[in-house]
Amino acid sequence: MTALELAQKLQAQFGELVSAPKEFRGEISVQISDAEKITAVCAFAKKELGFDYLVDVSSVDNYGDDPRWTLVYELYGMVHRCHLRLKTDVSEEKSELPTISQVWRTADWHEREIYDMMGIRFRGHPDLRRILMWEGYPYFPLRKDFPLAGRPTDLPEVAFTKPAPLEGGPFVTLAGGRDSMAREPRVRTAEA
């Protein structure tokens, strides 16, 4: 069975909740119109269609559009060797959807990372807390409205002994440079 045929079975099961499969560059994607139903769709895809491996869960910030976020679930079946991409949208006002960690345990860390970097919450998650940033960090650094120049913040007794600018968050470095320390945002000076 092909990924297209499996996606058509998914659509037949859920009707208008699942869009017609779209193919782009040999990859099949379907859109789930109601994010509240993502757990049921994923459970069916795993149990009935053989997608036993959750490759990835990621989020896209569509800043300026509504709904603001798109959640992307990459599925794979070890037996039939087919990939399927599920997408669903979440509005900024709600910024929450059900967890799929009871379907695939590996979703636990993917969802924690999305929460940590984007601020999207997963209802029913067994341990929804930050995974990369420290507790109490006030921002979500992969949102498009997070400035590349960073946001200054005072973090007494948390990570530094004096106020430290968070210049672009922990992931923004300069390309090239003398060495890795010269590229590190927190040690750069205005002359660097």
48-106: pLDDT as tens digits: 999 999 999 999 999 999 999 999 999 999 999 999 999 999 999 989 999 999 999 99
Residue 192, pLDDT above cutoff 50: no
Residue 182, pLDDT above cutoff 70: no
Instruction: Say what the pTM is.
Output: 0.80
| Helix residue ranges per DSSP H, the chain | 3-14, 38-47, 107-118, 180-183
Average pLDDT, the chain: 86
Contacts of residue 41, defined as CB under 8 A and 6 or more positions apart, other chains included, come to 10, 14, 17, 18, 32, 86
Residue 123, pLDDT above cutoff 90: yes
Percent of all residues in the chain with a pLDDT value above 70, rounded to a whole number: 77
What would the mean pLDDT of 20-24 be, rounded to a whole number? 96
Which domains does the chain possess? Answer: 3-123 (3.30.460.80), 151-187 (no CATH)
**pLDDT tier at 3, thresholds 50, 70, 90:** very high
Query: Strand, coil or helix: what is 39?
Result: helix
Measure the CA–CA gap between 23 and 29, rounded to whole angstroms: 7
Measure the CA–CA gap between 30 and 97, rounded to whole angstroms: 18
- 140-163 pLDDT, tens per residue? 989 998 877 666 666 655 555 444
Is pLDDT larger for residue 178 or for residue 47?
Answer: 47
**pLDDT tier at 172, thresholds 50, 70, 90:** low
How many degrees, rounded to 5, is the angle at CA 42 between CA 40 and CA 47?
A: 95
Residue 166, pLDDT above cutoff 60: no
Contacts of residue 153, defined as CB under 8 A and 6 or more positions apart, other chains included, come to 138, 163, 164, 165, 166
Measure the CA–CA gap between 28 and 85, rounded to whole angstroms: 6
Say which residue the tokens 């929460």 belong to.
115
Q: Tell me if the bond preceding 67 is cis, omega within 30° of 0.
A: yes
